[in-house]
Chains A and B, each alone.
Chain A
């Protein structure tokens, strides 16, 4: 097996057995990036020199027996994580030249574990999008193709660059962030595994904020176990983030082998809304069958406010974003456009620096918080959010995890769904509720659409019960045996 086809767990074993060196492993991935990134545009910035230096350091540590748990593992980092000395853009022109003088907690933890960063991956601008089409650095192309059709497809978003990079074997794993589905939906579109942990499990320090009460970092990889290994290194209490949970990090990898016997799996009837495509409904059925066969009990549950989750999200997230993005004003860092006075400087800078989708959300967010509208929009949305959390709390009294589809469709083409923002927003219809409730949720590839594109299922757990989510995900992964590979991947075509 070639070095780029290994799972993270296999690569780790190989490095420890000295079957190959970290330098070789990193070089193989850098080579793949060189070959495929011009096609995929998965990376905004590639850092080969740094990666090779880190790989050599990992080899020394492996030789000396001081290696961390991720020593020598090439990872791709979403360009929303601030990395000291390496340009961090959030896929925005606003931060085209921004070089953070500090490191995010999550990437610092990964570095401490010995990981090698091959580069910064593309995303929707400021993580606002579900297609990667809003990046100021060009769209990411999904490595998958419809059968017999060369139309470029979107990788999903906002962590689309990370998903594409992992699917195309440009890295063994990647970091993503998920605000309303930004890890899970691209994972589903690209046929990989993605986990959004509980809100508060991973520190938000040093991650460029989109919507603070929703943003969570999480792992993306090709197997459930790889995600578990990555999350083990990313998670943990951070005194620099007031919303970080001060609780121990369990052994997620061990949880992957627990099985599901005796677990009660809730299937929310509201998700089976009319209009769910047959292939998605069939996939969901398959998931139920797998879990039932493995000894779980499938129970019907109700999440009555499900239909209100998306509109709630599209008030809460833009409101927070409009405030979070006020700091991009051309004064201390980032882009500046000259103006005759301060206000003109602000207005020109922000007009030039932000793309259309970001502007749209800032305007919506500004409006729903403005005098006279706060109660009707923002306050009401927070109350509905409370009801949505209540739905889950009630449901989890009867079940241990919830099973749903990840997305309402397979990956779509780059020109589709562009006429109306709301059509695009509907991509997150199944992922947003868990985000609003701060719950751990994960997407696992289970089957393929009629056109041969990957489709994922989502499992949602109780707050801070990622272990059960991993257990369910691993069971489904084993039974589904998803083995299809994308058309474009390293070592195959360029």
Chain B
């Protein structure tokens, strides 16, 4: 697990912390009644409050607070019964009030944890420093006019949760695993859709490098990276840049940078030159947010089973290996699908089909588990047909492909195409006799000791029976005839 980057002066360790901005799922904005739906016409989801018109005042949305509490509970974090809103003052074209309402001194959620899993299956606990609620800014479009920037405030005022990790991450892979895990938890909780393409999850990446055993060196913040892949690339690029600076005798200065995916580099952000003096102070338009412990308990009671717990349960209840369980719980929908198939059946058998055949089919057809052409009930029915010997495993693959293509139920396909497994020993005896009679030379070779020809005979018999022979019976009969 000790990832390092080799420099001219030897290996360097990475120290990484992530600040993730996750868009809260809510109908209306954090402090106004305007809608939050993605993709509306410019400035059509804007109220006078969002556009910071004179005399406009913020009023907080209860559901956004609930979502922050749910998320805090899902991260095993302390929920602060009293929190406050501060103003973070800076001028920017898409920040209408000239300040962002955020939580600086007293966030709603304190310390928590996320467990991540390395490629080798080992787990590591990453600390969460805090989670706070804040407003999103609007959107600046720089590519509409050569000399102008266009401003759309639809997103201005949408609730964000800023989730800050401890500087516990040590490699791009760990950062990727952390982000994926966080995304999974948020999606389970229904507090953020985790859609990075639409900007509902964005990461600010804090990176520094050091020699083994050293204290932390100066870090830089790479702003607004919007995919897991880019986060990993940005970390590597920024770490390499810093290593080069140190090794050339320079000093890394704390600054805000931007990742350019196309060029694979980070560059200094001009617009943030004096952004360090945000002049935070308590927002006098708002009052302390005091939470009723009973409300928190209600929210806790309604939490769904979270991925770690579900994974442990899948391993215990269905006898799944850790890997399978991990794959299945990554998305709530696949976990639910799996459970619908596995309930009352063999868990490992069900997992193999879901992870193997079903996921492959979804991949191939570009569908998601939610729009799967094969329902869990039908997949379960298919497994039952195998288990009760109606069809064999070989034929089941064909039936499954047919199900994917047509959506037809497995029983109907088996009947229509007459795919029932043949268990009639007479028919098998006949097919075996025919195959052996047709291949006297092979029989002789087999009997002379070429054991691996047994497979050839099985294949020939199955072919003669159009694949429908019961494999166990075919083996038995063959063995007997060849003995």
Contacts and interface: CB of A to CB of B under 8 A. Distances in A.
Asked if the two chains touch in their complex, CB atoms less than 8 Å apart, one says: yes
Interface of A: 81-82, 88, 90, 95, 98, 100-102, 104, 204-209, 211-213, 239-243, 319-320, 322-323, 326-327, 329, 331-333, 342-343, 346, 366, 369-371, 374, 378
B281 A323 contact: yes
Contacts of A332: 51-53, 96
Contacts of A319: 281
B53 A102 contact: yes
A346 B287 CA distance: 31
Contacts of A366: 279
B53 A243 contact: no
Interface residues of B, number: 30
B3 interface: no
Contact of B57 (A242, A326, A343, A374): A242
B287 A243 contact: yes
B58 A212 contact: no
B199 to A, nearest CB: 22
A323 B277 contact: no
Contact of B89 (A239, A326, A333): A326
Interface string B34-51: 000000000000001001
B462 to A, nearest CB: 74
Given A100-B54, A209-B54, A327-B98, A378 B281 contact: yes
Interface string B275-305: 0110111001111000000000000000000
Given A323-B99, A327-B96, A374-B281, A342 B149 contact: yes
Interface string B115-152: 00000000000000000000000000000000001010
Contact of A95 (B54, B99, B287): B54
A204 B93 CA distance: 26
Given A239-B59, A243-B284, A369-B89, 20 more contacts: A90-B54, A98-B54, A100-B53, A100-B55, A204-B57, A206-B56, A212-B285, A241-B57, A320-B281, A322-B89, A323-B99, A326-B91, A326-B97, A326-B99, A327-B53, A332-B52, A343-B91, A346-B91, A371-B277, A378-B281
B60 interface: yes
A327 B287 contact: no
A323 B57 CA distance: 14
5 contacts: A100-B54, A204-B55, A206-B55, A323-B98, A327-B53
A82 B97 contact: no
B164 to A, nearest CB: 20
B257 interface: no
Contacts of B48: 101-102
The B interface is mostly helix, strand or loop, or mixed, namely loop
B52 A327 contact: yes
B98 A329 contact: yes
B87 interface: yes
Contacts of B57: 204-205, 240-242
Contact of A208 (B55, B89, B279, B287): B55
Q: Identify the 10 closest CB pairs spanning chains A and B, nearest first.
A: A326-B98, A213-B284, A369-B279, A212-B284, A206-B55, A327-B52, A208-B54, A371-B277, A82-B55, A212-B285
A243 B284 CA distance: 9
Contacts of B54: 82, 88, 90, 95, 98, 100, 208-209, 327, 333
Contact of B285 (A239, A242, A346, A378): A242
A205 B287 CA distance: 15
A329 B91 contact: yes
A333 B53 contact: yes
Given A100-B53, A319-B281, A378-B281, A327 B97 contact: yes
Contacts of B96: 327, 331-332
Interface in B93-120: 93, 96-99
A98 B285 CA distance: 23
A242 B288 CA distance: 11
Contacts of A240: 57, 59
Nearest to A369: B279
Which of B53, B59, B149, B280 is most buried by chain A, counting CB atoms within 10 A of its CB? Answer: B53
Nearest to B58: A242
Contacts of B97: 326-327
Nearest to A367: B279
B100 to A, nearest CB: 11
A343 B92 CA distance: 9
Contact of B60 (A100, A204, A242, A322): A242
B96 to A, nearest CB: 6
A241 B287 CA distance: 11
A370 B87 contact: no
Nearest to B54: A208
B279 A242 contact: no
A82 B56 CA distance: 10
A82 B98 CA distance: 20
A104 B57 CA distance: 11
Contacts of A82: 53-55
Contacts of A208: 54-55
Nearest to A319: B281
A369 B285 contact: no
B285 A331 contact: no
Contacts of B149: 342
A428 to B, nearest CB: 19
Nearest to A327: B52
Contacts of A207: 55
Contact of A323 (B53, B89, B93): B89
Most chain B beta-carbon contacts within 10 A, residue among A329, A370, A378: A329
Contacts of B151: 331
A370 B277 contact: yes
B22 to A, nearest CB: 24
A188 to B, nearest CB: 27
Contacts of A206: 55-56
Nearest to B59: A242
Contacts of B98: 323, 326-327, 329
A168 B52 CA distance: 36
B47 to A, nearest CB: 10
B99 to A, nearest CB: 6
B327 to A, nearest CB: 46
A346 B271 CA distance: 14
Nearest to B51: A332
B396 to A, nearest CB: 62
A329 B58 CA distance: 20
B111 to A, nearest CB: 25
B55 A243 contact: no
Nearest to A379: B281
A92 to B, nearest CB: 10
A479 to B, nearest CB: 39
A346 B280 CA distance: 21
Contacts of A331: 93, 96, 151
A95 B55 CA distance: 13
B463 to A, nearest CB: 75
Interface in B54-92: 54-60, 87, 89, 91
A341 to B, nearest CB: 10
Contacts of A343: 91
Contacts of A95: 54
A185 B315 CA distance: 76
Task: Among A100, A242, A342, find the residue whose CB has the most chain B CB atoms closer than 10 A.
Answer: A242
Nearest to A239: B59
Contacts of A342: 93, 149
A213 to B, nearest CB: 4
Contacts of B89: 322-323, 326, 369
A243 B285 contact: yes
Looking at B51, B56, B97, B151, which has the most chain A CB atoms within 10 Å of its CB? B56
B55 A242 contact: no
A192 to B, nearest CB: 25
B155 to A, nearest CB: 15
Given A326-B97, A331-B96, A205 B55 contact: yes
